[in-house]
Chain A
Amino acid sequence: MLEKILLLLSLSLSVAEGLCKPGVGEAYKVRFSIKTALGDQAYPWNKNEMFLFRAALAFAMRDFTNGEEFGVSDIHPCNETQRVSFWFVVTRPKTMDLVDKGTVEMAIKKSRNRINGAFLLTDKTLEFDGIYPTLAAPVSPDTPPWLIVFGVVMGAVSVGIIALLVYPLVQRKLKKNMDADDEDSDEETGVKTAENGANDGIYNSTFSDDERFTQM
């Protein structure tokens, strides 16, 4: 019994290693640029990180296929280099059938952000060779900002023009009213002085009673 199990295990292992061939079939290449992304806080790459990768990818497969129970053992890496790059293939759970490239690609695309997040990396620093990141849609605000600035500037300019054109007209009108008032008051004082002069005249009696003295 034990021998059979051991035989099966070694068979499956060797089959799996045979499955993952770089550049051929359904294999994908992945590259990690940890030092570029994190600088001083870069973590070293070791077997635990590899385990995390396999788990993340298994999660992506489960998520995409809606429940098919992929496990860590269904992700088979090979040809690991110092770069931190390696190839991997995905097999269906409980069988050794390879999952085709297209399905793997769509699964990775769907969960790309989650996989990136698990490693504190970005689309550029965790690179799947051949899977291009979906481009971020450009941000388009409801009111274009330039219209707002234009509105403010032109509003100020229009108000300024109207103010500069209207203000002297208003001033002239006010001045005209004030001038009219001034002229009225001048006339009144002028009339008054004439009256005063007539009133203040000294009655010169030398020539007044001519009839009293001489009557020819």
Chain B
Amino acid sequence: QRKASPGYPLIQERPKWDNKAQYLLTCIGFAVGIGNVWRFPYLCQIYGGGAFLIPYLIALVFEGLPLLFLELAVGQRLRKGSVGVWKTINPVIGGVGIACLIVSFLVGVFYNTILAWVLWYFFHSFQEPLPWSTCPLNESRIDYNLECKKSTPVNYFWYRETLNITPDIEISGSVEWGMVICLASAWCIVYICFIKGIDSVGKAVYVTSTFPYLVLTIFLIRALTLPGATDGLLYLFTPDWQTLTNPRVWLDAATQIFFSLSVAFGGLISFSSYNEEKNNCERDAVLVGVINSATSIYASIPIFSILGFKATTAFNACKDENILALTNYFEFSDQNITLQNYDYWYEYLNTTYPEKFQSLSLRECDLQKLLKQSVSGTGLAFIVFTEAVISMPGSQVWAVLFFVMLFSLGLSSMFGNIEGVLAPLNELKLLPRWMPKELISAVICLISFLVALLFTLSSGNYWVEVFNGYVGSVPLLIIALFEIIGVIYFRGMKTFSDDIYIMTGRRPNIFWKACWMVISPLLLLVVFVAYVIVQAQTRPTYQAWNPDYEKFPETEEKLYPDWVFAIIILLCVVPVISIPLVALYQLLRGRFRKSSVGMELNPYDNDAFVTDTQEQKTQRA
């Protein structure tokens, strides 16, 4: 909103939230993303089920909540976006804001590609039968397509018909036009929600942040009534206390909490800067953090019920196959061997006719082994879940609901990413004044779309994995570390406590102070160092879908070629290089300014009055 009155220049009012609920829903939506649905349940499964909750909650309390509180407080008090606040605290650490800008942009580009994939599946869920339930025929129309027969229809639909993936990251292939259309749609939807800045975002989040909870509840009820759901849930939640002795578990818990809360993107700072100054940000931070973790746990219940259902269905299908083979071979009457008495007959036949039995080479049907097949990420959503949905009555409804839920979760996270790009851009004053915000948003969305066309190539999935693994990890840890150092040591604990006193009416208690000054930086440093060590130990590899691989349909593990490795290094370094660069620039400039001031003798200054120093200026700010 710009106001112009005669005689005065254009005053630009800072945008404001219509009400507290919009602000909270936006922050919760930003924190709760697709990772809550497809990363947390996977971690729970591989790290001993219920036992994983302990390191997870400890990490939330000692690392997640302090960081969240810090960001919200800083944004609300200094009333600027991520570049402005760090410049205000001390121009030397102004580079942190620029790093946030670059990371938000890069993450936004690949994250929306995932949403484009979700849209593709959503569009294709309106068919009967679902396109991923059967194999297409091959050219001669006598048999099914070979690649599909060797793997599964679900795998074929994902790797071939959706991605048309190449066997290697070096083979780029061509642009997939279906995916380009979906990507354009995804960016258009992001644009329409962001067209009026937080005025439109604030209204969009009423839907995008609440709808996933509705769908999760529907899935919870449906999933709990499926056969085999209890097997899945038991498997998930049975705690294996042994895993707590593995340091990798603690590392992954701390890492997961950090990335799950979406701190260090700069978006949270911007969102809280649109608040009124006297707002209890301590309560907001605790609320957002707790709701984020609660959503992860809540989402894992239907996910695991459905995984249990899928394992049971596969188990029964395996047994049915064996029953048919036995019945045909031994010429028993039809339905003499059933699922119920399968075990008895199996033992009996094995002991009575061992050689004949062996000659049949029956498949080993093991429910535990099927339950152990753990998948995370795109594999969970587009392969495992879609396969489970085929076996559920009313498949189209469940598929549509699921993909709309994923899209809402991702869209509300995208708002934070875009805000983390737009607010710093405005503050850096790189753009001409005459550009309205609608045009700026359109330009940003267009540029992001053009960059994301890289991911619509046939090798696009491999590139998304590269971005996901390296942009969204190391730079964020570094930024968060500098944020804590910036606030606690550059602004000072005392000043910051005063800030919080002004905003909430009481100073932070000993718990927050201990976390900010010691525990959280230490935890972040340990996570960062351990992360780098673990990554540096082995040459990074990726899983390639290669139909010519001898162990197909297993994915082939390949090493990243050198040029991709160089790009990975660039992705880790370029976002954070602005921090030392800006620090250096400011230090040099400060030295020059000091020396130039010394040269000028001001005839009008008789030193009777002391001019404002930098610290006093920032203290009053």
- The contact size tier of chain A is 20 to 34
Given contacts A146-B123, A160-B192, contact A35 B335 (CB under 8 A): yes
* Cβ contact within 8 Å between B328 and A83: yes
Among A36, A84, A150, A164, the residue within 8 A (CB) of B196 is A164
B192 to chain A, nearest CB (A): 5
A91 to B325, CA, bound (A): 31
Closest to A39 in B: B335
* Cβ contact within 8 Å between B332 and A135: no
B interface footprint on A25-46 (CB within 8 Å = 1, 0 otherwise): 0000001111110000000000
A145 on the B face (CB < 8 A): yes
Among B124, B136, B200, B334, the residue within 8 A (CB) of A146 is B124
B529 on the A face (CB < 8 A): no
A202 on the B face (CB < 8 A): no
A interface footprint on B434-458 (CB within 8 Å = 1, 0 otherwise): 0000100000000000000000000
A96 on the B face (CB < 8 A): no
Q: Which chain B residues border A34 with CB–CB below 8 Å? A: 334
A interface footprint on B170-210 (CB within 8 Å = 1, 0 otherwise): 00000000000110010011011001100010000000000
A45 to chain B, nearest CB (A): 9
Among A85, A135, A161, the residue within 8 A (CB) of B195 is A161
* Cβ contact within 8 Å between B192 and A83: no
Q: Which chain B residues border A164 with CB–CB below 8 Å? A: 192, 195-196, 200
* Cβ contact within 8 Å between A135 and B334: no
B126 on the A face (CB < 8 A): yes
Q: Which chain A residues border B328 with CB–CB below 8 Å? A: 31, 83, 85
* Cβ contact within 8 Å between A146 and B127: yes
A129-165 residues at the B interface, CB under 8 angstroms: 135, 137-138, 145-150, 153-154, 157-158, 160-161, 164-165
Q: Which chain B residues border A36 with CB–CB below 8 Å? A: 334-335
Task: Pick the interface stretch among B106-114, B137-145, B233-241, B412-420.
Answer: B137-145
Max chain B Cβ within 10 angstroms of own Cβ: one of A32, A81, A150, A164: A150
A148 to chain B, nearest CB (A): 8
A4-18 residues at the B interface, CB under 8 angstroms: none
A48 on the B face (CB < 8 A): no
A165 to B436, CA, bound (A): 11
A33 to B123, CA, bound (A): 39
Closest to B320 in A: A36
Max chain A Cβ within 10 angstroms of own Cβ: one of B122, B123, B137, B196: B123
Q: Which chain B residues border A149 with CB–CB below 8 Å? A: 122-123, 126
Q: Which chain B residues border A153 with CB–CB below 8 Å? A: 123, 185
Q: Which chain B residues border A150 with CB–CB below 8 Å? A: 123, 181-182, 185
* Cβ contact within 8 Å between B141 and A137: yes
Q: Which chain B residues border A147 with CB–CB below 8 Å? A: 123
* Cβ contact within 8 Å between A157 and B126: no
Closest to A154 in B: B185
B304-342 residues at the A interface, CB under 8 angstroms: 327-328, 331-335
B604 to chain A, nearest CB (A): 48
A51-99 residues at the B interface, CB under 8 angstroms: 81-85
* Cβ contact within 8 Å between B137 and A135: yes
B134 on the A face (CB < 8 A): yes
Closest to A162 in B: B192
Closest to B333 in A: A82
Q: Which chain A residues border B331 with CB–CB below 8 Å? A: 81-83, 85
* Cβ contact within 8 Å between B126 and A83: no
A138 to B133, CA, bound (A): 11
Given contacts A36-B335, A149-B126, A150-B123, contact A158 B137 (CB under 8 A): no
Q: Which chain A residues border B188 with CB–CB below 8 Å? A: 154, 157-158, 161
B interface footprint on A89-120 (CB within 8 Å = 1, 0 otherwise): 00000000000000000000000000000000
Q: Which chain A residues border B122 with CB–CB below 8 Å? A: 149
A82 to B336, CA, bound (A): 11
Q: Which chain B residues border A161 with CB–CB below 8 Å? A: 188, 191-192, 195
A35 to B335, CA, bound (A): 6
B445 to chain A, nearest CB (A): 11
A84 to B333, CA, bound (A): 7
Closest to B137 in A: A135
Closest to A124 in B: B324
* Cβ contact within 8 Å between B127 and A157: no
A165 to B438, CA, bound (A): 8
A129 to chain B, nearest CB (A): 9
A85 to B330, CA, bound (A): 11
A34 to B333, CA, bound (A): 10
* Cβ contact within 8 Å between B123 and A157: no
Nearest 8 interchain pairs by C-beta: A146-B123, A35-B335, A81-B331, A83-B331, A35-B334, A149-B123, A82-B333, A145-B126
Contact sample, A vs B, 7 pairs, CB 8 Å cutoff: A35-B333, A36-B335, A145-B124, A146-B126, A153-B185, A160-B192, A161-B195
